[in-house]
Amino acid sequence: MMKIEYLSKGMPKQMKDHKGKHFQSGINKETVNELEVSAGTVAGDDVANHDYHGGPDRVLCVYPFEHYQRWQSEFGKPLKQSAFGENLTVTGMQENEICIGDQIQIGSVLAEVSQGRYPCATINRHTGIDQLLAKIINTGYTGYFFRILKPGTIRKTDKIELVNRVTSITVADIHHTFFHNRKDTDAIQSILQIQTLADDWKKKFENLLERT
């Protein structure tokens, strides 16, 4: 069953990593009881670098709660809530269960899965685990993003409902093709047919196709 475990938001701030180096990021979020979601932003939430983060295809960041147990077991280190900078931490919605273009009703918000997350080293700096980024890329446990079709409010107690599915290509399929199966032109062509895939990822696969 799809379920919200917790909601989180936060503004960019100066942080210090486990090596004592300072950096600016919006990854450090606090849990809240509700999110006010517009077509382009979440109230009280932002990213530090708008060139690579945020925008209408990446309004809500989602991360599966099931992965927390794996990472904590593998690295022997507890992870704080929203350790990956996500807005929604959920169960029953892992990357191999969610398809690009899925339309999902949560509270009064209608959201659409736009892309998988392209993870960066800020995750390592935030969690203090230097090997985590490489493990995320290897497993595909990246999380993913929603664009917003209908703005509104999401509360922690709200139910999650899949209202429309337009393709069978999952977030995990996208990740596996891009990172681990780059010469599969048939898979790339199929992915490029997904109209709801974020433009940024379409460009990634178009460039990949040109090089194969």
**Amino acid at the residue 103:** Q
Give the model's pLDDT for residue 133.
96
**Amino acid at the residue 99:** C
Under 8 Å between Cβ of 69 and 148: no
Domain ranges of the chain: 3-166
Give the model's pLDDT for residue 5.
98
Helix axes of 199-211 and 185-192: crossing angle, nearest 10 degrees: 150
Q: What's the mean pLDDT in 200-211?
A: 94
pTM: 0.96
Give the rounded percent of residues in the chain with a pLDDT score beyond 70.
99
Query: Half-sphere exposure of residue 168, counting CA atoms within 13 Å on the CB side?
Result: 1
pLDDT of residue 180 exceeding 80 = yes
pLDDT of residue 212 exceeding 90 = no
Q: What is the pLDDT of residues 37-69, one digit of tens each?
A: 999 999 999 987 776 678 999 999 999 999 999
Lowest mean pLDDT among 24-28, 29-33, 161-165, 187-191: 24-28
Give the torsion through C-alpha atoms of 189, 202, 126, 147, to 10 deg.
Answer: -110
pLDDT of residue 128 exceeding 70 = yes
Rg, Å, the chain Cα set: 17
**What three-state secondary structure class fits 51?**
coil
Give the model's pLDDT for residue 49.
73
Other Cβ atoms less than 10 A from the Cβ of 168: the count is: 9
Q: What's the mean pLDDT in 123-140?
A: 96
Q: What's the mean pLDDT in 71-85?
A: 96
Q: What's the mean pLDDT in 175-201?
A: 96
- Determine the Cα–Cα distance for residues 212 and 209; give it in Å rounded to an integer: 5
Q: What's the mean pLDDT in 109-117?
A: 98
pLDDT of residue 13 exceeding 90 = yes
Q: For tokens 């929203």, name the residue.
A: 82
Mean of all residue pLDDT scores within the chain: 95
3-166 belongs to which CATH class?
mainly beta
* Residue from 158, 148, 61, 163 nearest 104 by CA: 163
Six-digit token string for 60: 């809500």
Under 8 Å between Cβ of 156 and 6: yes
Q: What's the mean pLDDT in 124-147?
A: 97
Give the model's pLDDT for residue 52.
66
Write down how long the chain is.
212
Give the model's pLDDT for residue 187.
97
The pLDDT-based confidence of 209 (bands split at 50, 70, 90) is very high
Q: For tokens 């350790």, name the residue.
A: 83
